[in-house]
Structure 1
């Protein structure tokens, strides 16, 4: 109660609390760890080959198609409408799963889920447009914790309902429909941000940049700041300041494009940040591919038709172990500018070994352990990467960089899906796919072991500039847990 009272009494508390509540229910997807057994079981009766080589790739292609337009729409419409859309499509997702028969309905399901994942950018960036800079760290902690707890609670509850309560997969999909409906209703409570990050006009770009670095968040919107010219002719500028015509004006679009380009140049002007972004894109592509197809590997080793399924319990345990690994980064005092790239190489090698364990074992529990190890390594490294990128960038560059990195990762994942998985090309079986994924992560580890060794040798005895030391200290004391990439 004390925590809630503190949130409610502060200017940043209400949107943070509502968004955290939304994040909990939106990620409390009780049935998600059991999606593959549900699709290939008697309820949908789709073959494993069709699910692997035809159905799941549709999500990847659709996600790639939606990601960049959704990123621009999120800023243009100021976040809230996209979060409401995400909640709506979460509901329609489980309506299709519960009540729509046939393969065609499952194709629409994959497209709907692509909209859900693409609009996650709105969830992740919303809070930074409505709160002050000094509250970013605390708000991020609440949001990440809510997401993680929701996912862990949902997966664990799903396992209990299946194993102990004896509910079938249709029942837990119906329950998940209820939790996502609650998330959809909560999304309407979110206050709409008064400003966007890029679509805000030339006159306000400098004001916003300065306020983000120096000033507390103001209750008056930068879009509503009135100039001397506007005071002289308020009717002329009323539509431009408050209506969609102003937002769509040529001057505003040009200003947004110019700011996007400037942010892009700032984000990738440093070779150091380019290497971290490269690892982000390469590793995330492989991580999402394994995350997307791991249930098929589990079903291959221990078929759900004849074996007990513990997918929910495994996902819940993996989330907690991975979160603990990521959280520990904030308490490890390491000069990441010297040793960070080497750490990327070492833990990527461990992750590659874990993927080979998954594919080479015939014991389902060893497969579960390999998945837990792989996921923990990724969450640890993505947290380190987040620190190294975020502490060196302004807020505009922060959002754009993570958007671009995710887009590159998804493009790589789409290429892997098209070549390796899609039935129209190679259409490989699940075992061969995972051998390729293990090899892929091994190549990443070799590249960054070489690069990391070079960086450690050249920078170890080089004095670090004072401002970099200060930024490094920020990275050592801030922990951001990533269950899904931005």
Structure 2
């Protein structure tokens, strides 16, 4: 029957369908594109300043504080309990959004949503513990694409309900609560894995393969917990010893920090450029289009034939410059459509590059090390984002207005561009010098033969 017991008898399809349903319903959130108009509207009546400086920063702080312990516990508890926790966190988030009042209640929303974000790693890692390696590529495609479909469909529905039926934002949140509740019910039926990547590794060898040394965490799991953490640290050191992976990871962390900051506060900027009360808000449509463009750009990556070892840093510099230009366009625009256009370009360029970075790191590492590097890169990104939030947004820092904030974010991506432009020039010059030396060597060799 195999190490996974009843899970394996069901094959790969059963857990994949359930996980995809969970992903679809958790991402089917029609309220999300209109969160800021909802909070600043008549139901909650918060000011834009309160949302920007006292509410939204809580998500960054919460996410950072929770991510590392959740990353470790996710593997230790074998994923499903953490997926259940995520489902409950979704429900609590939208109950508070619907019935909570005042800044403290909405800060509670952001805190719990930080838990949602931190536990998301369980969704993406779970499937690898219940299906065989031969199905990894297939199930990865399903589990990555289905949430995008859910988010796109929800954004389109939200825009239609708001623009055509004039449905109040409150009822968009009711629909979201129903969907995340359905997701939690689905998660109850997920099979419980008997193995995980680090703490509960598979001990039986596949037919025709030699046994490999594994870290086994069963009855003596508590005794060896810190031993596993120490081995993970050694693995991490080896991962970052590759200069190429190190620089891709630096871009990943820096760009993701900036991306999260822009996406987190862009609705506040849109509200500044075109207040929702004017009735010309198309946040839902823009989010739907941006998601489709992001999915398309990620799809295109698979068909591009480029020597990324030579051109990778130049691509990072070029598209980081595109992101910087898009943020500056959003910041200086007084027309909402130009602001929307800048957002579409920004999100597409980031998705294109993060897909390349993910691919470059994944092909050079085992699944375990990739998961470890993924978690650390995101943790560093959150740390950088938290520093940015403390300096730029927080009342204890500079407390900049939303327009000046986006000016800072534009310069932030310009700095990233500069870093990787210099790095790409260094690589090209080094390659040119090596080729020149090789050519000289070949000439001397030919002269010696003569």
TM-score of the superposed pair, with normalisation by structure 2: 0.90
Quote the Cα distance in structure 1 between the aligned partners of 2:432 and 2:10: 44
Counterpart position of 2:57:
57
Q: How does 1:210-359 map to 2 (within 5 A)?
A: 241=218, 246-248=220-222, 250=223, 252-359=224-331
* Residues 54 and 103, structure 2, Cα contact 8 Å, conserved in 1: no
Quote the Cα distance in structure 2 between the aligned partners of 1:101 and 1:414: 26
The 1:459–1:329 alpha-carbon spacing in structure 2 relative to 1, beyond 3 Å, is: farther
Quote the Cα distance in structure 2 between the aligned partners of 1:438 and 1:213: 55
The 1:145–1:56 alpha-carbon spacing in structure 2 relative to 1, beyond 3 Å, is: same
Counterpart position of 1:107:
107
Task: Count the aligned residue pairs.
Answer: 426
Quote the Cα distance in structure 1 between the aligned partners of 2:288 and 2:28: 11
Q: Report the alpha carbon displacement of residue 449 of structure 1 after superposing the two structures with TM.
A: 1.3
Q: Report the alpha carbon displacement of residue 198 of structure 1 after superposing the two structures with TM.
A: 2.0
* Residues 133 and 213, structure 1, Cα contact 8 Å, conserved in 2: no
Counterpart position of 1:394:
366
Q: Report the alpha carbon displacement of residue 147 of structure 1 after superposing the two structures with TM.
A: 1.0
Quote the Cα distance in structure 1 between the aligned partners of 2:29 and 2:423: 40
Counterpart position of 1:229:
none
* Residue segments in structure 1 that go unaligned for 5+ positions in a row: 1-7, 224-239, 464-486
Counterpart position of 1:45:
45
* Residues 317 and 417, structure 2, Cα contact 8 Å, conserved in 1: yes
Counterpart position of 1:150:
150
Quote the Cα distance in structure 1 between the aligned partners of 2:414 and 2:210: 46
The 1:212–1:67 alpha-carbon spacing in structure 2 relative to 1, beyond 3 Å, is: farther
* Residues 198 and 215, structure 2, Cα contact 8 Å, conserved in 1: no
Counterpart position of 1:426:
398
Quote the Cα distance in structure 1 between the aligned partners of 2:279 and 2:422: 44
Deviation track 1:90-141 (CA, whole Å, cap 9, x = no partner) reads 1111111111222221111111100000001111111112222221111110
Q: Report the alpha carbon displacement of residue 266 of structure 1 after superposing the two structures with TM.
A: 2.4
Quote the Cα distance in structure 1 between the aligned partners of 2:40 and 2:432: 54
Counterpart position of 1:16:
16
Q: SS of 2:291's equivalent?
A: helix
* Residues 215 and 228, structure 2, Cα contact 8 Å, conserved in 1: no
Q: How does 1:165-204 map to 2 (within 5 A)?
A: 165-200=165-200
Q: SS of 1:139's equivalent?
A: helix
* Residues 59 and 110, structure 1, Cα contact 8 Å, conserved in 2: yes
Quote the Cα distance in structure 1 between the aligned partners of 2:403 and 2:218: 57
Runs ≥4 in structure 1, deviation > 6 angstroms? 210-213, 460-463
Quote the Cα distance in structure 2 between the aligned partners of 1:419 and 1:296: 18
Quote the Cα distance in structure 1 between the aligned partners of 2:420 and 2:123: 31
Deviation track 1:147-166 (CA, whole Å, cap 9, x = no partner) reads 11011111111111111122
Quote the Cα distance in structure 2 between the aligned partners of 1:433 and 1:426: 10
Q: SS of 2:276's equivalent?
A: coil
Quote the Cα distance in structure 2 between the aligned partners of 1:277 and 1:304: 38
The 1:434–1:211 alpha-carbon spacing in structure 2 relative to 1, beyond 3 Å, is: farther
Counterpart position of 2:34:
34
Q: SS of 1:305's equivalent?
A: helix
* Residue segments in structure 2 that go unaligned for 5+ positions in a row: 1-7, 436-450
